[in-house]
Structure 1
C-alpha cells in the first residue's frame, strides 16, 4: 500500500484506527530519534514518543492542514520534550554505582555491558555518546535547533514554523548553538583525542 499522507490523515480525523497505525509506523522512528536526541535516554525517549502519539491520537481532529503534518507533529514533539525536561529539573538523580539498600543488606547493581563487538562499531558508538552528551548540555533553545537542523535535516523555513519564530531567530540560535556545541566538545577533549588517535 502506498503512503498517501493527506488521505491517511483524513481517515485518522474520522476515527479510523488502522489509518492511525499506518501514521504511527511512518513516523515512529523519526519521533523516537528526536526524543532521544532531546532527552539523551532511551527509556525516557520511548515514554515521551508514546506520549506524543497519544497526544496526536487525541488531537488529530484539530489539525487543520494550515502547515504540513510533519511541522505540526514536530512542534508537538518539541513541546512534549520541553515539558519532560522541565519536569525532570526537580527530580532527584541516583548513581548507578551506589549499592541498593534491601532488607538483606546492600546489593551492587549489575549492568549489562553491550559495548562488545568490532572496534569500529564501539568507537562510532562512543563518539555518538560523547556528541549526544554534549548536545544534552546545551540550553533548550539551542538543543532543539541543533537537533532539528543538523540531525533531522529541516530547512530554516520548516524550523521557523515548528518553533513559531522568525527565520532570523532560527539562524541566530543555530549559530549560537553550533558554537556552544563546538566549545563543549573542545573542552571535553575526548572526541578530538579519539579522532586524532585513529
Structure 2
C-alpha cells in the first residue's frame, strides 16, 4: 500500500506512537508485503508465514515506543519478523532437531553454469523443498549474514549443528539443482 501524499514513513511511525489505530493500520498495510516476503523465507507455508507476520506486527506495535528513528524501520521490522519465525520454529520443533555430526560431509561448490539455468524464483522454490531446519539455517547464514555462533544462540543448538545443517542444506540444494539442470537439458 502506498502512503497518502505528504506522509513519510517517519511521520507515520511518529503518528503510530500516539496509539491511534488508523496509523497502525496504515503501517501494517504499508509493510505487509515486505514482512510476508521475509516470513515466507522462514516458514514452510503461507499460513505459517501469515501467523509469523501477524505475531511480529503485534510485537512491533507493543514496542514501537522503543524504536529509534535514527535507524531504518525496515531493518528493525525484518529482525522482529525473523526472530518471530525462529521462535515459532523452535517452539514447534523443540524435540525434532537432532544433529548427526558423524555424517556431516564437506561438499564441493556447485558450478556457476547450473545456477545460470535457474531464475531466482526457481531457486526460492527449491529452498522451500528443504527440510525446515536446513532452510532456516541457510536463510540465516547465507541470506541474512548471521554467523554460526549467532544462529546457535537463536535456535538453541550447538554452532557445530548449524554448520552441519547448512552443509546438508547446500548438498540437498545441489542435488535438486543438478536434477533441474538435467530436466532442462532434456527439454532443450
- Pick closer, same or farther for the CA change 1:12–1:79 going to 2, 3 Å: same
For 2:16 and 2:32, the matched residues in 1 are separated by 16
For 1:127 and 1:195, the matched residues in 2 are separated by 14
For 1:22 and 1:4, the matched residues in 2 are separated by 12
> CA offsets per residue over residues 30-68 of structure 1, 9 Å max, x none?
111211110121111111111111111111111122421
Q: Give the CA deviation at 1:25.
A: 1.1
Q: Give the CA deviation at 1:138.
A: 2.4
Partner of 2:47: 43
SS of residue matched to 2:63? helix
The alignment status of 1:71 with 2:67, answered yes or no, reads no
Q: Give the CA deviation at 1:127.
A: 6.3
- Structure 2 gaps, min length 5: 97-119, 151-163
Q: Give the CA deviation at 1:182.
A: 4.5
SS of residue matched to 1:138? helix
- Pick closer, same or farther for the CA change 1:84–1:32 going to 2, 3 Å: same
Partner of 2:160: none
The alignment status of 1:133 with 2:111, answered yes or no, reads no
Partner of 1:61: 65
The alignment status of 1:186 with 2:174, answered yes or no, reads yes
- What's the C-alpha RMSD, in Å, of the aligned pairs? 3.6
For 1:141 and 1:125, the matched residues in 2 are separated by 19
Q: What is the aligned residue count? A: 147
TM-score (norm 2): 0.63
For 2:19 and 2:92, the matched residues in 1 are separated by 34
After TM superposition, the runs of 4+ consecutive aligned structure 1 residues lying more than 4 A away are 124-128, 176-182
- Structure 1 gaps, min length 5: 93-123, 149-155, 164-175
- Pick closer, same or farther for the CA change 1:8–1:36 going to 2, 3 Å: same
SS of residue matched to 2:130? helix
Q: Give the CA deviation at 1:197.
A: 3.2
Q: Give the CA deviation at 1:137.
A: 5.0
